[in-house]
């Protein structure tokens, strides 16, 4: 049993555990904190896949920005702690759908024979990522900047408080 396997086991446990707790907690702040655990554990899984750069980006973007922004949003807005209960029938249907999808995906992944050989990255993959983004993937990369600009404009105009607002 290598350290890698133990690390994988622990990280998967945290990832799934964080996600499950995220759903089962009733207080929103608890949910976000457990979600942050999931984000961090996913970053750990990326490290095991030798994708250090993606792992670090995951931490910066999700744990460092998204989780904190969510906490901010929750703390600055009034909210009731108990959510309204969805109907029983709705819960049953949702459970059946999710369980069915899980079983299908599980059996498909189980039933596929994978190539067991492992490919290791020999080169410095951060440099490679940088070079590829700015050469081959430059069109989607520039488009992403348009996307972010649009999201920024949208966030501002939808969230900005008007001068004539009564509050």
Partner 1 sequence: MEQYLTQPLSLQTFIIFFASAVALLLLVLGFVTYAIYFERKVIGWMQARIGPNRVGPLGLLQTVADVLKLLLKEDTIPKKADKPLFLIAPIIAFVPSFAVLAVIPFTDKLHFADLGVGLLYYLAISSISTIGVLVGGWASNNKYALIGGMRSAAQMISYEIPLVMSVIGVILITGSLNLIDIVERQREIGMWFIIPQFLGFIIFLIASISELNRTPFDLPEAESELVAGYHVEYSGFRFAFYMLAEYVYVFAMSALTTVLFLGGWLPPFEFLSFIPGIVWFILKFSAVVFFLFWVRATMPRIRVDQLMSLGWKVLLPLALVNIFITAVVKEFIA
Partner 2 sequence: MDITAWNWEVMTPEFIILGTATILSLIDLFMPDDRDRRFLGILGLLGVIAAGFYVIKFAGAEPVQIMNDMFRLDSFGTAFKLIFLTGVALLFILSIQYLNRQNQEVQYRGEFFYLVLTALLGMMIMASSADLITLFVGLEVLSVSSYILVGIRKKHLYSNESAFKYVVSGAIATAITLYGMSFIYGITGTTNLYDIAERLASAYQQGFSLMIYLGFFLMLVGLSFKIAVVPYHMWAPDVYQGAPTPVTAFLSVLSKAAGFAIIIRIFLSVFRSIVNYQSDAGSFYVLFQELNLYIAILAAASMIIGNTLALRQTNIKRLMAYSSIAQAGYILVPLVTFWGINFFSQTLFYLVAYLFMTLGAFAVIMVVTTDRGTEDIRSFAGLYHRSPFTAIAMTIFLLSLAGIPITAGFFGKFYIFMSSVLYENYWLAAVMMGTSIISYIYYFGIIRQMYMRPGDTEARLAVPLPAAFVIAVGVLGTVAVGLFPDLVLNYLNQNLQFTDMFARP
- Determine the interface stretch with partner 1 among 16-24, 46-54, 94-102, 153-161 (rule: CB under 8 A): 46-54
Cα 20 off chain centre by: 14
Measured from the CB atom, the residue of 81 and 86 that comes closer to partner 1 is: 81
Cβ contact 75:66 at 8 Å: no
Among 17, 33, 45, 137, binds partner 1 (CB under 8 A): 33
59 binds partner 1 (CB under 8 A): yes
Cβ contact 21:53 at 8 Å: no
Question: What's the closest the beta carbon of residue 1 comes to partner 2, in angstroms?
Answer: 26
d(CA 67, CA 39): 9
d(CA 20, CA 105): 18
Among 19, 22, 45, 48, binds partner 1 (CB under 8 A): 48
Cβ contact 35:47 at 8 Å: no
108 binds partner 2 (CB under 8 A): yes
- Determine the interface stretch with partner 2 among 4-12, 21-29, 30-38, 101-109 (rule: CB under 8 A): 101-109
Cβ contact 26:52 at 8 Å: no
1 binds partner 1 (CB under 8 A): yes
d(CA 47, CA 37): 15
> Contact residues for partner 2 (CB under 8 A)?
104-105, 108-109, 111-113, 135-140, 143-144, 146-147, 149-151, 153-154, 157-158, 162
């Amino acid at each position: 049993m290598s350290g890698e396997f133990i690390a994988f086991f622990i990280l998967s446990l945290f990832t799934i555990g964080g996600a499950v707790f995220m759903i089962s907690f009733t207080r929103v702040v608890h949910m976000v904190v457990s979600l942050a655990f999931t984000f961090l554990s996913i970053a750990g899984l990326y490290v095991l896949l030798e994708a250090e750069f993606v792992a670090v980006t995951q931490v910066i973007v999700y744990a460092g920005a998204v989780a904190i922004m969510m906490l901010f949003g929750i703390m600055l807005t009034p909210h009731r702690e108990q959510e309204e209960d969805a109907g029983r029938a709705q819960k049953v249907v949702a459970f059946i759908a999710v369980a069915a999808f899980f079983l299908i995906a599980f059996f498909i992944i189980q039933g596929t024979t994978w190539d067991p050989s492992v490919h290791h990255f020999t080169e410095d993959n951060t440099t490679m990522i940088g070079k590829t983004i700015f050469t081959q993937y430059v069109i989607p990369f520039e488009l992403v900047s348009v996307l972010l600009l649009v999201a920024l404009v949208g966030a501002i105009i939808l969230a900005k408080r008007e001068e004539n607002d009564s509050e």
